[in-house]
């Protein structure tokens, strides 16, 4: 049976805080760990949970340890705390890239009698409720009670309405390159391309209909997010590097089509995009969604 003592390493961060609230609401006794005491104390008081500044003390009695610190520090943290963990306890991370983290978890699960899991919530700290959001899960391995402990633990998310998708670390990083890395990159590039024309966004907005307005608002929301994490998601992911090579070739091809006034080439690229998206679940109603977003934005402009 799963114990109720749960420690969050990185408990004063955006994700640490929302998961602290979430687990507390499920009856867990929470301890938060982070390095900066002022911020940690403030969040612990806000959530009405305990905090601990000594890393070993924060985890040694825990039944469950969640690691919620920046991507690059996660594997080292897992290896540092593993020797302090209680027999049969569960450790999991929520980091946005998995190849190095998975390796670290795999290594410690072979060395110590603990249970290891890797999760990736496909949402950020701004959400109000986790219901209907996707949680990616990578099973690593553990003690004889692994399956029992894991199903009890994952059940907490299931009953709260999260959609759990099981995956592997290789697949995870490839898909994340496409579902996070690519849209982030396009929006960062969109704003930087416009910036290099020396046109102001508010001036351009006077000349817009629909597409630009939506794209602009979307990009503005992306550019206000966590720069360090967004950088790591692209820089630290080898799968994203491969996608970038593909993109470079595509841009070269596109440039040739445009510069050579190759109408047929343009139709070909356009049609290939259309055929590809036709298969998608949202395709048929996409124009409807587009105008729903537009309606909201137009109301705001009044
Ligand atoms: N934000 C998102 O949208 C999102 C979505 C899905 C997954 N994630 C993943 O969630 C994790 C946390 O992200 P976040 O957005 O919550 O980050 P964050 O807001 O920057 O919080 C990071 C937390 O970790 C602590 N910390 C930083 N470096 C540390 C270290 N070396 N040792 C111990 N504690 C450290 C920080 O406090 P101190 O500096 O005081 O120690 C803070 O409590 C990341 O792995 C990220 O990939 C984030």
Ligand 1 atom closest to Cα of residue 232? 47
Report residue 213 as tokens: 């307005």
Q: Is 170 in the pocket of ligand 1 (CB under 6 A)?
A: no
Fold of 5-167: Rossmann fold (3.40.50)
Strand 29-33 and strand 134-141: the pairing is: unpaired
Q: Are 96 and 70 spatial neighbours (Cβ–Cβ below 8 Å)?
A: no
Q: Is 73 in the pocket of ligand 1 (CB under 6 A)?
A: yes
pLDDT tens readout for residues 147-188: 999 999 999 999 999 999 999 998 999 999 999 999 999 999
Q: Are 118 and 169 spatial neighbours (Cβ–Cβ below 8 Å)?
A: yes
Report the separation in Å between the CA atom of 15 and the middle of ligand 1, taken as the mean of its atom positions.
Answer: 7
Average pLDDT over residues 68-81: 98
Q: Is 141 in the pocket of ligand 1 (CB under 6 A)?
A: no
pLDDT tens readout for residues 226-255: 999 999 999 999 999 999 999 999 999 999
Q: Is 242 in the pocket of ligand 1 (CB under 6 A)?
A: no
Ligand 1 atom closest to Cα of residue 121? 6
pLDDT tens readout for residues 20-38: 999 999 999 999 999 999 9
Give the list of residues 6+ apart from residue 105 with CB closer than 8 angstroms, or none. Answer: 78, 91, 93, 116, 117, 118, 140
> With 90 as the cut, is the pLDDT of residue 137 above it?
yes
Nearest to 9 by CA among 70, 72, 86: 70
Report the separation in Å between the CA atom of 74 and the middle of ligand 1, taken as the mean of its atom positions.
Answer: 9
Return the number of other C-beta atoms located less than 10 Å from residue 146's C-beta: 19
Report the separation in Å between the CA atom of 71 and the middle of ligand 1, taken as the mean of its atom positions.
Answer: 8
Report residue 242 as tokens: 């491969």
Nearest to 181 by CA among 246, 259, 116: 246
- DSSP per-residue codes, 162-200: -EEEE--HHHHHHHHIIIIIHHHHHHHHHHHHHHTTT--
Q: Are 90 and 29 spatial neighbours (Cβ–Cβ below 8 Å)?
A: no
pLDDT tens readout for residues 144-154: 999 999 999 99
Report the separation in Å between the CA atom of 68 and the middle of ligand 1, taken as the mean of its atom positions.
Answer: 5
Q: Which helix (H) or strand (E) holds 125?
A: none
Report residue 267 as tokens: 């139709």
Q: Is 58 in the pocket of ligand 1 (CB under 6 A)?
A: no
Average pLDDT over residues 267-293: 95
Q: Is 179 in the pocket of ligand 1 (CB under 6 A)?
A: no
Q: Is 118 in the pocket of ligand 1 (CB under 6 A)?
A: no
Q: Give the start-to-end residue ranges of the domains of the chain.
A: 5-167, 171-301
Ligand 1 atom closest to Cα of residue 15? 16
pLDDT tens readout for residues 100-121: 999 999 999 999 999 999 999 9
* Strands (DSSP E) found in 59-216: 64-67, 90-93, 115-121, 134-141, 163-166
Q: Are 115 and 146 spatial neighbours (Cβ–Cβ below 8 Å)?
A: yes
Q: Is 80 in the pocket of ligand 1 (CB under 6 A)?
A: no
The pLDDT, as a whole number, for residue 210 is 86
Q: How far apart are the first and last CA of the chain?
A: 57
> With 70 as the cut, is the pLDDT of residue 302 above it?
no
Report the separation in Å between the CA atom of 182 and the middle of ligand 1, taken as the mean of its atom positions.
Answer: 22
Q: Is 36 in the pocket of ligand 1 (CB under 6 A)?
A: yes
The pLDDT, as a whole number, for residue 298 is 79
Nearest to 239 by CA among 188, 178, 184: 178
Instruction: Among 8, 11, 15, 51, name the best residue to mutate to test ligand 1's pocket (greatest count of ligand atoms within 8 A of Cβ).
Output: 15
Nearest to 63 by CA among 156, 153, 166, 158: 153
Backbone angles phi, psi at 259, to 5 degrees: -65, -35
């Amino acid at each position: 049976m799963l114990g109720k003592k749960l420690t969050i390493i990185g408990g004063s961060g955006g994700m640490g805080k929302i998961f602290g609230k979430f687990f507390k609401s499920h009856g867990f006794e929470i301890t938060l760990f982070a390095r900066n005491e002022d911020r940690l104390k403030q969040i612990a008081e806000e959530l009405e949970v305990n905090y601990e500044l000594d890393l070993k003390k924060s985890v040694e009695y825990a039944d469950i340890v969640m690691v919620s610190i920046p991507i690059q520090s996660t594997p080292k943290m897992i290896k540092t705390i593993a020797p302090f963990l209680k027999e049969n306890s569960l450790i999991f991370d929520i980091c946005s890239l998995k190849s190095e983290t998975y390796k670290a978890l795999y290594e410690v699960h072979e060395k110590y009698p603990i249970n290891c899991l890797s999760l990736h919530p496909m949402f950020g700290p701004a959400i109000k409720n986790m219901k209907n959001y996707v949680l990616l899960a990578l099973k690593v391995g553990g003690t004889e009670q692994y399956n029992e402990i894991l199903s009890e633990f994952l059940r907490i998310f299931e009953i709260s309405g999260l959609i759990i998708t099981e995956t592997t670390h290789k697949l995870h990083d490839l898909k994340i390159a496409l579902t996070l890395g690519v849209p982030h990159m396009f929006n960062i590039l969109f704003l930087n391309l416009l910036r290099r024309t020396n046109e102001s966004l508010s001036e351009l907005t006077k000349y817009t209909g629909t597409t630009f307005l939506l794209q602009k608002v979307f990009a503005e929301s992306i550019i206000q997010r966590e720069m360090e994490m967004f950088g790591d998601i692209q820089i630290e992911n080898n799968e994203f590097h491969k996608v970038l090579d593909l993109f470079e070739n595509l841009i070269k091809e596109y440039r040739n089509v445009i510069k050579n006034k190759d109408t047929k080439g343009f139709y070909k690229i356009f049609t290939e995009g259309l055929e590809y998206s036709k298969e998608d679940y949202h395709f048929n109603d996409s124009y409807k969604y587009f105008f729903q977003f537009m309606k909201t934005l137009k109301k705001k402009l009044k």
